[in-house]
Chain A
Amino acid sequence: MIGSMVKRSPLAREFWENGRAASCPIYDMHGHMGSYHSIYFPRGEAPDMIRTMDEAGVRLLLFSHHAALNSPDLGNRLSVEAVRRFPNRLRAYCVINPNYPERVAQDLATFDSLYPDVYVGLKFLSDYHAIALTDDRYRPAWEHADARGLLVLAHTWGGSVYDGEEVVARVAERYPRVKFLLGHSCHGAWGAAVALAQAFSNIYLELTAVFDDRGAIGSWLPRQVRIGCCSALISRGLIPITLLVF
């Protein structure tokens, strides 16, 4: 199958041969950065990630630093610093951890001063923070995003009580001005993800972790699909070749 697609598609051939395509730069909508407990990262810091981006033809990476996700004492500071160091290659999501409402209030209060030069939108990690997207503790952030028509990237996983397909539908309906990017596209519940994208014009699907389940991509709507690869977690090329070849 790889051989036939590479023969038929100049774009697939260019990706396969070079690891990137000059005519098809990538905007990667879902990345991370920095160390994470128990995980080895050969290229986990910003300078190394920029090198990987160059090799893979990624023009711009939208990311959330692991410290912002897991270390509320540090919050989004390291994300902001990385963007200021590489302003032409990086934009950060402002991570919202509703377990720390005072931190959320601070982050939302400073958001406008950092948007769009540093922040591109908000990031929710409900499964890990163990608070449903529909929970009242997320409401200030949703209302902030809805009022401004912001991009919100949320980790979503099929069947989850925190960010599964049923939860996603409720918040998409409640906040129609939010540009809602489903991280991992309700992983495993692929049909439900497609149905959500068809039902809500403000929902977009994202490819991180989709490649580990063969056959999912074929039924998707190209207009509402966005690239993500969870860098620095996932090797360059895995997402583009999966998208192009299968």
Chain B
Amino acid sequence: MGQLLGAMASAVPLFLSIRRDNGHHLWLVGVFPDPCVVCDHGCWGEDRQFRPLLERYPNVHIDTAQYLLDGGIRGARCRLRADRLLYGSGFPESHFGGMMMALKHAQIADGAKSAIAHGNLERLLKEAWS
């Protein structure tokens, strides 16, 4: 934990699994407002868990791994902006093609798809390294 806190204090991006961690370490998000935090989440329409985080903490992002919900990407994009969503697949536990297919055919603009697929992560890493 000490190493983790040190990394967060120096603004290293944190990838935090809500699904595996049951949200036990979400308090870190409020304590360290600067580093980028990317969260995954479970598969059963758990927008009620991650949307409040996104609305309250501008440094929080979510990935799409296990975001299986029919129409979920479009709903999240309309409500929250595409720059807070990052492509994730859950690979190697899951196939990476499933979420590629879901993103490819999500009913959002091509620019938003591109940002989710790679642009957002490239921006976040550039910010972290600058």
Residues on A lying within 8 angstroms of B by beta carbon are 1-2, 15-16, 19, 36, 38-43, 48, 52, 55, 211-214, 231-238, 241-242, 245-246
Q: What secondary structure prevails in chain B residues at the interface with A?
A: loop
Please pick, from A48, A213, A246, the residue contacting B97 in the complex, using a CB distance under 8 A. Answer: A246
Cβ contacts B42-73/A at 8 Å (1 or 0 each): 01111110000000000000000011111111
Please pick, from A19, A43, A212, A242, the residue contacting B43 in the complex, using a CB distance under 8 A. Answer: A212
B123 at interface by CB-CB < 8 Å: no
Cβ contacts B97-124/A at 8 Å (1 or 0 each): 1111110110000000000000000000
Query: What is the bound-complex CA distance between A236 and B75, given in angstroms?
Result: 14
* 19 other A-B residue contacts (CB within 8 Å) besides A19-B105, A234-B69: A1-B97, A2-B97, A38-B45, A39-B44, A39-B46, A41-B70, A52-B70, A211-B95, A211-B98, A213-B93, A213-B94, A214-B91, A233-B44, A235-B73, A237-B101, A238-B99, A238-B101, A241-B101, A242-B98
User: Could you jot down 29 A-B contacts, CB within 8 Å?
Assistant: A2-B97, A2-B100, A38-B44, A40-B69, A42-B69, A42-B70, A42-B72, A43-B71, A211-B98, A212-B94, A213-B94, A214-B91, A214-B94, A233-B44, A233-B45, A233-B69, A233-B70, A234-B68, A234-B69, A235-B69, A235-B70, A235-B72, A236-B70, A237-B98, A237-B101, A238-B102, A241-B101, A245-B97, A246-B95
Q: Taking the nearest CB of chain B, how far is it from the CB of A155, in angstroms? A: 15
Nearest B residue to A17 via CB reads B104
B92 at interface by CB-CB < 8 Å: yes
Q: How large is the interface on B (under 10, 10 to 19, 20 to 34, 35 or more residues)?
A: 20 to 34
Query: What is the bound-complex CA distance between A23 and B36, given in angstroms?
Result: 45
Residues on B lying within 8 angstroms of A by beta carbon are 43-48, 66-75, 90-102, 104-105
Query: What is the bound-complex CA distance between A231 and B47, given in angstroms?
Result: 17
Q: Which residues of A contact B72 (CB under 8 A)?
A: 40, 42, 235
Query: What is the bound-complex CA distance between A233 and B70, given in angstroms?
Result: 6
